[in-house]
């Protein structure tokens, strides 16, 4: 099956961005590990990062016609702001997992609300770069339960 891994704004800066919160791994390293993980499970992975809400929304629209079976997304700050991203995910009705490196619930109150969580199959947060591994493991498991 085909998995789309989406990264929201400022995640291109991983590695140098507040490493005490987000860890030392770069986005390239995270994507490489994610690719291996999906390969080993016999699934195809596509990754995309954007700082632009519209680019992420358009990628989600394309996923519907592009045969994407599952989306794993770190919406970053758009988690807490974007009704439009929520509507895009609802519109394509591709199952998705929301993930975060940090645990937003242990941070500022404006990070406690997500516009996506109630639509997600599940949410993984708080494990640094390992959140990606756990979220992809869950996505692969979901796909194996209901193969496409
Ligand atoms: C984040 C958490 C968000 O609150 C924040 O805006 C981010 C990253 C995380 O992965 O921990 O940019 O999604």
pLDDT string in tens for the chain (148-residue length): 999 999 999 999 999 999 999 999 999 999 999 999 999 999 999 999 999 999 999 999 999 999 999 999 999 999 999 999 999 999 999 999 999 999 999 999 999 999 999 999 999 999 999 999 999 999 999 999 986 6
> 115 with 57: CB under 8 angstroms?
no
Per DSSP, the three-state class of 6 is strand
Which two tokens mark 29? 């390293």
By C-alpha distance, which of 33, 147, 30 is closest to 95? 147
Residue nearest to atom 7 of ligand 1 (CA): 76
* Active-site annotation holds for 100: yes
pLDDT given for residue 148 in this prediction = 60
Concerning whether 22 is annotated as a catalytic residue, the answer is yes
- Predicted ipTM? 0.99
| Residue whose pair of structure tokens reads 């199952």 in the numeric block | 95
Provide the pLDDT for residue 60.
Answer: 98
Distances (CA, A) of 128 to 15, 21, 101, 114: 11, 8, 4, 18
Find out whether the beta carbon of 102 lies less than 6 Å from any atom of ligand 1.
Answer: yes
Burial of 12 (0-12, 13-18, 19+ CB in 10 A): middle
How far away, in angstroms, is 21 Cα from ligand 1 center?
Answer: 9
| C-alpha span between 5 and 135 (Å, rounded) | 10
Strand pairing class (70-74; 96-100):
parallel
d(CA 99, CA 59): 18
Which of 5, 10, 72, 74 for mutating ligand 1's site (highest number of atoms within 8 Å of CB)? 74
Q: Supply the pLDDT for residue 146.
A: 86
Q: Could you give the domains of the chain?
A: 37-121+130-145 (3.40.50.9100)
């Amino acid at each position: 099956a085909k998995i789309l891994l989406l990264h929201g704004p400022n995640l291109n800066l991983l590695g140098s961005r507040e490493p005490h919160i987000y860890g030392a791994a770069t986005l390239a390293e995270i994507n490489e590990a994610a690719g291996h993980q999906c390969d080993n499970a016999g699934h195809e992975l596509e990754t995309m990062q954007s700082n632009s809400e519209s680019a992420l929304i358009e990628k989600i629209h394309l996923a519907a016609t592009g045969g994407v079976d599952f989306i794993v997304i770190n919406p970053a700050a758009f988690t807490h702001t974007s009704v439009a991203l929520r509507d895009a995910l609802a519109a394509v009705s591709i199952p998705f997992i929301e993930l975060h490196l940090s645990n937003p619930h242990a941070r500022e109150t404006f990070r406690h609300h997500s516009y996506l969580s109630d639509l997600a199959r599940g949410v993984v947060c708080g494990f640094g770069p390992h959140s990606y591994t756990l979220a992809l493991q869950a996505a692969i498991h979901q796909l194996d339960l209901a193969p496409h």
